[in-house]
Amino acid sequence: MTRFVLRRLAVAVPLLLIVAAISFFLVQLVPGSPAAAILGNTATQEQVDTLEQSLGLDQPVLSQFGQWLGHALQGNLGASYTTGQSVSDALAQSVAPTLSLAILSTLLTLVVGLVLGMAAAVRGGRTDRLVQWTGSLGMAIPNFWLAALLIFVFAIKLSLFPAIGYAELGTDGIGPWISHLVLPIIALSAVNLGQIAFQARAAFTDALSRDYVRTLHATGVPRRRVLYKHVLRNASVPVVQVTGLTFIFTLGGVVVLELIFTLPGMGNLMLRSVQNHDFSVVQGGVLYFSLVVVLVNLVIDVATAALDPRVRVR
């Protein structure tokens, strides 16, 4: 198991390097100079040159990349072109709401999706159709529209949850933290829930037809134990793997929902920076988001290996 984790880490490192390169060179695609874009149309060539020099943009691209990477490894992603604030600090301050939302939503979808998929596969018939219909509906509702609906019903009409804003888990306590996250999590989970439930349904249908189910029955293991111990574990392996794949789309949803619920997260920071043409923050943000994806996928790999010993040898 340790060797498996080490092997996965060894793959993750070059992956991160390439992602870092992509997020760096993305900005190089800007037609003309970033400095010109920052200063706008009214700037003179001299102003642009001065800014380029102060940002180090006059040096060769590769040496810029080397410098940027060297600094990035030390946790320094440079300073914001617009506010002058350290990019790392800005990102670190906004990471909590984003991760809270993404991770809680992923866990919720995983658990509820497994339950729904299991119910559909085991019971079949009407339960199956019900799960399929609700799942399809969930997948069809755009999360931003659902968010608006939730705000209208639960915040404006029923006043059950706050419509916007965020509460720190550390300073404000768990109650306010959760209540600010309930609506965004529901809005974020609806789309993925359908997908995970369908995957779980397929995985359970497959696991239920495996020969070991018959063997376990034949040795006298009761039905419930066969289902909740053996079938559940086998079926959850592919479902957990798919959760990893959907995570990148979950992060996309987070960006949208942060805007609606005005959560002070990385998504909002990115949107702001995009509007302000603040390339260094955009650059750092892409890297940060990718880091989260790689780490989450690592956790998911380890989780599947813990569930299924066959994965460990791969």
Partner 1 sequence: MTTATVPAHGTQGVGEPLAQPGRPRPRGSFATAIRDALHRPAILIALGWVVLVVVSSVLAGVLAPHDPLAQDLDNRLAGPSATYWLGTDELGRDLLSRILHGGGVLLLAALIPVVVAYLLGVPIGMFVGYVGGRADALADFVVNVLFAIPALVVVLAVSVVTDNNLPFMTVVFGVIVSGGIFRLVRASTQASRDLLYVDAARVSGVSRWTILLRHILPNVLGPLIVQGFLLYSGAFLFLTSLSFLGLGFDPQQPSWGQLVFDASAHLDDDPWLMVPIGLVLIATVAALNYLGNSLLATLPTARRARLLTPPRRPVLPPEAAAGTVPEGRRTPAAAEPADTDVPLVVEDLVVSFRTPEGGWQPVVDGVSFAVHRGETLCLVGESGCGKTMTALATLGLLPEGGAAAGSVRLAGRELLDLSEREMAQVRGSQIALISQEPMGALDPCFSVRSQLGDVVKLHRGGSRAEVRRRVHELLRLVGIPNAESVAKSFPHQLSGGMAQRVCIALALAGEPSVLVADEPTTALDPTIQAEILDLLRSLQETLGLALVLVTHDLGVVADIGDVAAVMYAGQVVELAPVDELLAAPRHPYSQGLLDAMPEDAVRGVPLPTVAGMVPLPKDWPGWCRFAARCPLAVDACREGPVPLLAVQADRTSRCIRTDELARSQELATTGVTP
Position 136, amino acid: S
CB atoms within 10 A of CB 270: 23
Least separation in angstroms between CB 63 and partner 1:
21
Q: Is 22 in the site for partner 1 (CB under 8 A)?
A: yes
* Residue from the set 43, 104, 122, 182 that interacts with partner 1 by CB under 8 A: 122
Q: Is 115 in the site for partner 1 (CB under 8 A)?
A: no
Contact 272, 198 (CB under 8 A): no
What is each CA distance from 87 to 138, 191, 281, in whole angstroms?
37, 32, 6
Please identify, using beta-carbon distances, which residue of 51 and 216 lies nearer to partner 1.
Answer: 216
* Residue from the set 161, 167, 289, 301 that interacts with partner 1 by CB under 8 A: 289
Structure tokens at 100: 């809270």
Least separation in angstroms between CB 172 and partner 1:
25
Task: Give the footprint of partner 1 on residues 159-198 (CB under 8 A).
Answer: 191
Q: Is 290 in the site for partner 1 (CB under 8 A)?
A: yes
Structure tokens at 308: 């299924």
Nearest-CA neighbor of 302 among 11, 79, 85, 88? 11
Least separation in angstroms between CB 270 and partner 1:
6
**Phi/psi at 79 (5° precision):** -115, 150
Task: Give the footprint of partner 1 on residues 207-226 (CB under 8 A).
Answer: 208-223, 226
Q: Is 40 in the site for partner 1 (CB under 8 A)?
A: no
Judged by CB under 8 A, the stretch of 12-20, 54-62, 78-86, 169-177 that binds partner 1 is 12-20
Please identify, using beta-carbon distances, which residue of 177 and 227 lies nearer to partner 1.
Answer: 227
Q: Is 277 in the site for partner 1 (CB under 8 A)?
A: yes
The CB-side HSE value for 95 (13 A sphere, CA atoms) comes to 16
Contact 117, 230 (CB under 8 A): no
Judged by CB under 8 A, the stretch of 51-59, 105-113, 170-178, 247-255 that binds partner 1 is 247-255
Position 189, amino acid: S
Judged by CB under 8 A, the stretch of 20-28, 51-59, 74-82, 180-188 that binds partner 1 is 20-28
Structure tokens at 204: 């359970």
Nearest-CA neighbor of 104 among 187, 194, 3, 29? 187
